[in-house]
Amino acid sequence: MRGEKRGMDCETRRPECCPVCASRLVEPVYWAHRAPGLWEVDLRCPECETEFSTTLDAETAHVFNVLLYEAADDLAEGMRRLEEEWASGVAEQDGRFVEALRSDRILPIDF
Ligand SMILES: [Zn+2]
Classify residue 10: in a domain, yes or no: no
The pTM assigned to this predicted structure is 0.68
| 24, 43 Cβ separation under 8 angstroms | no
How many angstroms is it from 56 CA to the middle of ligand 1?
19
How far, in Å, from the CA of 12 to the mean position of ligand 1? Answer: 11
Alpha helices in the chain (DSSP H): 58-102
Count the domains in the chain. Answer: 1
In this prediction, residue 98 has a pLDDT band, given cuts at 50, 70 and 90, of confident
Q: What pLDDT does residue 1 have? A: 46
Q: Domain for residue 53, yes or no?
A: yes
Q: Is 55 inside a domain boundary?
A: yes
26 contacts 38 by C-beta, under 8 angstroms: no
Grade residue 109 by pLDDT with cuts at 50, 70 and 90: confident
Predicted confidence (pLDDT) per residue in 22-74, tens digit: 999 999 999 999 999 999 999 999 999 999 999 999 999 999 999 999 999 99
Instruction: Establish if 96 belongs to a structural domain.
Output: no
CA of 33 to the centre of ligand 1 (A): 25
- By residue range, what is the domain housing residue 48? 27-86
Q: How far is the CA of 70 from the centre of ligand 1 (A)?
A: 20
Distance from the alpha carbon of residue 25 to the mean position of ligand 1, in angstroms = 8
Report the separation in Å between the CA atom of 24 and the middle of ligand 1, taken as the mean of its atom positions: 8
User: Do the domain assignments include residue 41?
Assistant: yes
Strand-pairing partners, residue 53, are 42
